[in-house]
Chain A
Amino acid sequence: MIDLGPDSRFREPGGQAREDGFSMNLETGPFHFGRPDEYARGKAAEFPDEGGAVILVLDVPDEIVRIAATEWFPLSQGLVQFDPGSGLEELMAAWSEVARSARIRSIA
């Protein structure tokens, strides 16, 4: 994912092909939708063959984050939802730059 960027047509095991978005959380929170480490552990529990739980930390330019903010996803709630038409295209266009900032945090 660091090399290629978010794949809006990614199919999770058992899932169906779809155009879907990509969500992140502001590093500073708030974490109204679960803390990233909890979320990662939950995903790893659901898909045990995918290498375990990690957190991917990225520096996304503010202007792209602002595009992702909508009436349903104000930045005040901490979740940044990159949907088609709401920042996903801009994020993918800037991915090569964004990926240079990538840090991977492993979770015990």
Chain B
Amino acid sequence: MIHSTLFSERVRRAFKPTPRGVVGLVDELFGLCGVHQLNLRFADGTCSVKRLGADDADSLTVPLPKSVFRAALARVASPCNDQHPGSVTPYRGEGEVVVPTPPSPNGTLPSTCYVSFTNTPSAQQLEMRFSRSSAGDRNRFTVLLRDQRTVTVYGHALKYIQNASNQTDCSSYGILSRDSGCEVLVALFHASEVIGVFSGDIRELGESAETGRDIQRRRALEEGGQGI
């Protein structure tokens, strides 16, 4: 079954204050990172959250005090320095954070999460990605899009999804991940925008000016649905 929990619902739940304050918010974001790779930015009193690779138009905005966002970035930075002293400053840095074991035995949270952040008075942003070592038994799906973007998604399966409510609408390709015993849709790509979806890395095939990725893209365009 595909769990109906929407990305927007999970984001809004993460940003709902709890007695654990900013610490709780960051824990929620790490939990969310187990399913969705995230990009967060702060501007003009709001935090915009989007999945990596998504258009800006698809981002969610959540009203948030600036001090809360900056404290959340400091909270993210702290374990980076715990694991590698001096590896980040309060203002910027990147590193891997070990995420505590989830309470659910069926949980699929990553054991580590790669974070990259900027926390200066004029710019505040955070990127949270699965660490390669934290993908567990999930597959790495590489999605080639017609607008030249490439998106990497970790999940358990690829699913072709038809729009049952609108037969004239083009279908989509979804990446599914198991989360607490349910299948969760972690990424959805409109079929008309997809060149191909590959399981694993796209290997570099040669030394020519045309890179392996270019060759894969060209072949996929020539052969239609190759790789999907």
Point out residues on A near B: beta carbons under 8 Å: 11-12, 14-16, 18, 20-21, 23, 31-34, 38-39, 41-43, 45-46, 71-74, 76-77, 79, 81, 83
* A-B interface pairs (CB < 8 A), number: 81
Contacts of B91 in A (CB 8 A): 42-43, 46
CA distance A20 to B67 in the complex (A): 8
B195 within 8 A of A: no
**Can you list 28 A-B pairs, Cβ within 8 angstroms, ordered by A?**
A14-B122, A21-B67, A32-B23, A33-B22, A33-B74, A33-B77, A34-B78, A39-B74, A39-B90, A42-B81, A42-B90, A42-B91, A45-B89, A46-B91, A72-B17, A72-B21, A72-B22, A72-B67, A73-B21, A73-B22, A73-B67, A74-B19, A74-B21, A76-B21, A77-B20, A79-B71, A81-B71, A83-B65
CA distance A81 to B69 in the complex (A): 12
CA distance A43 to B85 in the complex (A): 14
Q: How many residues of B contact A (CB 8 A)?
A: 26
Chain B residue, CB-CB nearest to A22: B67
Q: Which of the residues A21, A32, A74, A83 comes within 8 Å of B75, measured between beta carbons?
A: A32
Complex contact A77–B21 (CB within 8 A) = yes
Chain B residue, CB-CB nearest to A18: B121
B221 within 8 A of A: no
- Interface membership of chain B positions 65-107, coded 1 if the CB is closer than 8 angstroms to chain A and 0 otherwise: 1111001001101100100011011110000000000000000
Complex contact B121–A20 (CB within 8 A) = yes
CA distance A35 to B25 in the complex (A): 20
Q: Which of the residues A11, A38, A83 comes within 8 Å of B81, measured between beta carbons?
A: A38
CA distance A9 to B11 in the complex (A): 32
Q: Which of the residues A14, A31, A42 comes within 8 Å of B89, measured between beta carbons?
A: A42
